[in-house]
Structure 1
Amino acid sequence: MKWKVCGMRDLNNIEAVAAYEPDYMGFIWASKSPRYVGQDFVIPALPAKTKAVGVFVNEPTENIIELSTKAGFQVVQLHGDEGQDEIDALRAEDLTVIKAVSVATEEDVEGLDLEPDYYLFDTKKGSQVGGTGERFDWSILKAYELDIPYFLAGGLDEASIEEAKKLPGLYALDFNSKLESSPALKDLTKVKLITQNI
């Protein structure tokens, strides 16, 4: 099972979490997020195993490509209204694309017709985009019929892992707020528990 730690910003905390070698580490380039890294952020060196993920909401494709080069990440996670044209343009730049979908009912996963490298399913909460810290009803995912593997997000902690592993099609678990002592600062004790249970 792959795992991702998202919402990183503090350089010392990034280094400490990276020592546990998550498969992915996410950095948020959305100014309304309390975990926003800022336009000039450059990702420090990560373990070879750990892929850096830039998280965006309706950012122009050319900006994403420019930031990918400048900041140093190989994966982009899209949380807005991006369509297949944007996905194709990013993949043409050798970026892996994760398309996030907010989930509250089966209808949210039934009609998906984009072709990213991965989907990411997170909890829908009004107009909020990601980062709810709350879990949705995973039984909804039985309505997901595509062969595209997915990340699971939304209020995950070490206690969620065993149940999540049973979900068909699951590629990776995405941890964020439940591991934090404050926004963007991950509690290393909790991170260690993830590594022991994943």
Structure 2
Amino acid sequence: MLTVLLALTACADQAPQQPGGPGTPPSGYVELQPMPDVPPLPEELEHVVPPDELLEDLALPLVSAEMLDAIDQVRVAAGNSPDFGDPEISRDRTLVTVRWHGPVPAAVQQVVDAHAGADFAMVVEQTPFRPGDLQAEASRLITEHSGVVSAVGARAAGDGIDVMITEQAVEEAGGLDEALAQHGIDSRFPLFPSAGSVVPA
């Protein structure tokens, strides 16, 4: 063992000096540096996509091209009808739900029936309210209450409107319901309020 150590030491002593001084590593060598710590997410982004939900989404099956094509066909058949709501794909990718208010047009039903033998189910679900009316009302709410309402949108199920109230307005009013009442935020459709702000992309 002593002989090996002496031989290695001798080789090191005889190694030619590289340009750049004694602190410069020899050419052909890679100097390892410790990885910097990953900076934490800013507080305003921590609630956008929780890590556990992100991992869960990544583990979901992929949406097939056939499912996307079926949705495109429904959109074409529906045209600009205010009775047509946003289609939804189930998390396990086994079901496409087409949302409609009132009687389903033959062209839309034909698309649904044409996919009866697909690898996924395709069904029509009736909405309590007309999706077009909900979208128009959502636009009115955010236009008339832009300083208090930070985000708004028709719910996918067509049962009302999601309304996000700024945290400052909620805190000043003492609660969500109080903030709605204080600022006169009401509608002929059911409102589903929450507190928060939208982080710009």
Please state which band the TM-score falls in when normalised by the shorter chain.
under 0.3
- The structure where helix makes up a greater share of residues is 2
Please report the TM-score for the alignment, with normalisation by the length of structure 2.
Answer: 0.25
Larger Cα Rg: Structure 1 or Structure 2? 2
Please report the TM-score for the alignment, with normalisation by the length of structure 1.
Answer: 0.25
